[in-house]
Amino acid sequence: EPEVTQTPSHQVTQMGQEVILRCVPISNHLYFYWYRQILGQKVEFLVSFYNNEISEKSEIFDDQFSVERPDGSNFTLKIRSTKLEDSAMYFCASSAGQGQPQHFGDGTRLSIL
């Protein structure tokens, strides 16, 4: 069964540095998402992406965040100047259509020191 893959599985970065989290969504899916989950807390929506542009973003997704689909298969989340509170699991998801089940990757654990 096709799956969403995310790399790296764990990223350790110094505060203030830039990180790029990578995702390969399921190939025939059209909608892409990033969520995060701080340890012990809820899964929180960050951003959705459709037709090569951001369709919606949450309050968490401020100017330090950006997303890109550089080559038709990868979907990336960039955090420009990381803060301690950015430490979390970041999940990528994709879906075939609006309101359809979302398929999640196993996440990247981001640790900011």
Decide: is 65 part of the binding site for other proteins (CB under 8 A): no
What's the closest the beta carbon of residue 111 comes to other proteins, in angstroms? Answer: 14
- Residue 59 or 71: the one with the smaller Cβ distance to other proteins is 59
Read off the tokens for 98. 């609006």
Decide: is 50 part of the binding site for other proteins (CB under 8 A): yes
User: E-strand spans in the chain?
Assistant: 5-7, 10-13, 19-24, 31-37, 43-50, 53-57, 65-68, 75-79, 88-95, 103-104, 108-112
| Out of 19, 26, 77, 93, the residue judged to bind other proteins by CB under 8 A | 93
Candidates 12-20, 47-55, 69-77, 78-86: pick the segment binding other proteins (CB under 8 A): 47-55
Decide: is 31 part of the binding site for other proteins (CB under 8 A): yes
Closest CA to 9 of 109, 79, 104, 103: 109
CA distances from 28 to 65, 77, 101, 104 (A): 26, 20, 14, 15
- Interface contacts to other proteins, rule CB under 8 A: 4, 31, 33, 35, 41-45, 48, 50, 55-56, 58, 91, 93, 95, 98-107
